Amino acid sequence: MKFWQKIYLFSILVFVIIFNIASILVIERSHNKMLGQAINVALSQNISIHSSVDAIVPILRIYDSIDYEKMVLTRIANEFVEKNSDQGVYMDITDDSQRTVFNNSDFPMPVARNELDNLDEDSIHSILLEIDARTILFTSNITDINHKKYVFTYMEDVTAVYQDRIDQISFFAKVDLAACLLFMVIMFFVSRGLTRSIDRLNRTAKVIAQGDFSERVTLKSRDEIGILGSNFNEMAEVVEDKINELERNNEEKQRFINNFTHELKTPLTSIIGYANFLRTTKYNEELFVDGLNVIYSEGKRLESLSLKLMDLILLQKEQFQMELQDLGQIITDIKPALEVMAKEKNVAIVLDCEIGELPLERDLIKVLIFNLVDNALKASSPDQTITLRAYWRGGNYIVAVIDQGIGIGEEDRDKIFEPFFMADKSRTRSSNGVGLGLAICQNVAGIHGAVIRVNSVVQQGTTVEVVFASNPVAESELRP
């Protein structure tokens, strides 16, 4: 059973129970009130008759005649009955021998009169009896006249009171039926409206479960369901981000494997080919030297590849201890080694470094600088200049490597930090490049809480900035 159906049926059940109980209580309260009023009126009338009789008792004692007593009592009864003839009032007077002195009832008097049990002169007893489909209220009392006891019974037809209850029950039954039908119609739309948001959540969840993680639920309500929808969208957004991140990671891993396989294939093919050629060819010194040079060159390339891969693995697994050191001085210290690297291509190295004390791992910083300069050298032509600047700006210490080389195309800038990616494959291959330098640089920068920024113009040069935050606040501002 659906949730809206549960709400619908449960609300109808509660409404029917509460409405009917309330109706019954109202009807019974009204009936008991009216019946109580009728009983009080009957008792008052009985007391009135008793007072009238008591008023003439002294006269009856003077005459002391049974016939006169009965005549007077009959006249009092007739006057009272005539006075209340339109109210369904009856009188019955009997003597102590249970002979009837007066009776104007139009129904048979009951044989069993329980209200007469233990009746004395100081009390009035009442009882309700069903006679010929009528409800009669009996109120009785005893009056002593000349040592004879007369029983005065005042009777009133209260059938209308009970009929009124039946009419009220019939009326409320009709009202109950109409109210239930109206409530059912209203609750149908209300329950459907209340659960429509849940249906939207279910549909959206199914769409997301089928792989469309961009789907979102639209809820305008501000109640708990609206909050649930908002939380659901936030959850879906987090799931989508995680899935996209996993897909990106899988794609990067696949590209890494493909590129790694490709990088291994080329030197191994050359080594195997030349080794097999030398193995099957008669000795020729010049030919053998050329072949061995190729095997040596490709072997060194494999060695470089393995070392850089090891650097990547170590950077991801090891924990490094940072010490407060002057980054500008570290760059100055390795200038001779950088100049040796640049001398092979006849490229000039220019330094412009400010003092910058930061928590660093000295060897990692050297790896970072060497790789950045190495990339700049591979992009540069002879007689060009590579500038290393280190300076403070806005509370951050920035190391910039600026070359005048071929630059990086805009379509490749998002991929340059991926392992094995090479924007110019022919150039990097000729210089034993494997596309791991910037990937290593990014890991080193990440270990130091730094961010790498790249600005490049094709055929004009590239500027790579490593921005070190001097405090946690500045570091958070650097993050994209």
Can you give the pLDDT at residue 138?
92
Q: For residue 43, what are the contacts with CB-CB under 8 A and spacing of at least 6? A: 124, 126, 139
CA distances from residue 13 to 142, 171, 359, 408 in whole angstroms, order as listed: 55, 21, 73, 74
Give the separation between CA 347 and CA 340, rounded to whole angstroms: 10
Can you give the pLDDT at residue 300?
79
389 has a pLDDT exceeding 90: yes
Model confidence at 84, pLDDT cuts 50, 70, 90, reads: confident
Can you give the pLDDT at residue 327?
92
More confident residue, 445 or 419: 445
Give the separation between CA 73 and CA 99, rounded to whole angstroms: 14
316 has a pLDDT exceeding 80: no
Q: For residue 56, what are the contacts with CB-CB under 8 A and spacing of at least 6? A: 72, 76
Model confidence at 318, pLDDT cuts 50, 70, 90, reads: low
Name the strand (E) or helix (H) holding 309: helix 285-317
Would you list the domain boundaries of the chain?
Answer: 3-166, 221-318, 320-478
* Token pair 């790498």 in the structure block, residue: 452
425 has a pLDDT exceeding 60: no
What CA dihedral angle connects 220, 222, 228 and 229, to 10 degrees?
10
More confident residue, 21 or 6: 21
422 has a pLDDT exceeding 80: no
Task: Give me Rg for the CA atoms of the chain.
Answer: 56
Model confidence at 133, pLDDT cuts 50, 70, 90, reads: confident
Model confidence at 426, pLDDT cuts 50, 70, 90, reads: very low
Instruction: Supply the angle between the helices 3-63 and 159-209 in degrees, to the nearest 10.
Output: 170
Q: What is the mean pLDDT of the chain?
A: 82
More confident residue, 476 or 424: 424
27, 172 contact by CB (below 8 A)? yes
Model confidence at 478, pLDDT cuts 50, 70, 90, reads: very low
Q: Quick check: helix, strand or coil at residue 465?
A: strand
Q: How open is the CA angle 296-372-333, to the nearest 5 degrees?
A: 95
Top CATH class of 221-318 equals mainly alpha
Q: Quick check: helix, strand or coil at residue 186?
A: helix
Model confidence at 312, pLDDT cuts 50, 70, 90, reads: low
356 has a pLDDT exceeding 80: yes
According to DSSP, the β-strands at 385-393 and 134-145 are unpaired
- Go through 71-101 and write b for each residue having 16 or more CB atoms within 10 A of its CB, e for each that does not: ebbeebbeebeeeeeeebbbbbbbbeeeeeb
Q: For residue 219, what are the contacts with CB-CB under 8 A and spacing of at least 6? A: 197, 200, 225, 226, 229, 230
Cβ atoms within 10 A of the Cβ of 458, count?
Answer: 12
pLDDT in tens, 399-416: 999 999 888 877 777 777
Rounded mean pLDDT of 369-387?
A: 89
More confident residue, 16 or 416: 16
Q: How many CA atoms lie within 13 A of 1 on its CB side?
A: 8
Top CATH class of 3-166 equals alpha beta
- Among residues 140, 81, 132, which one has the least CA distance to residue 108? 132
Give the separation between CA 458 and CA 433, rounded to whole angstroms: 20
Rounded mean pLDDT of 377-383?
A: 89
66 has a pLDDT exceeding 80: no
472 has a pLDDT exceeding 80: no
- Per CATH, is 320-478 categorized as 3.40.50.620? no
Most confident of 70-79, 186-195, 445-454: 445-454
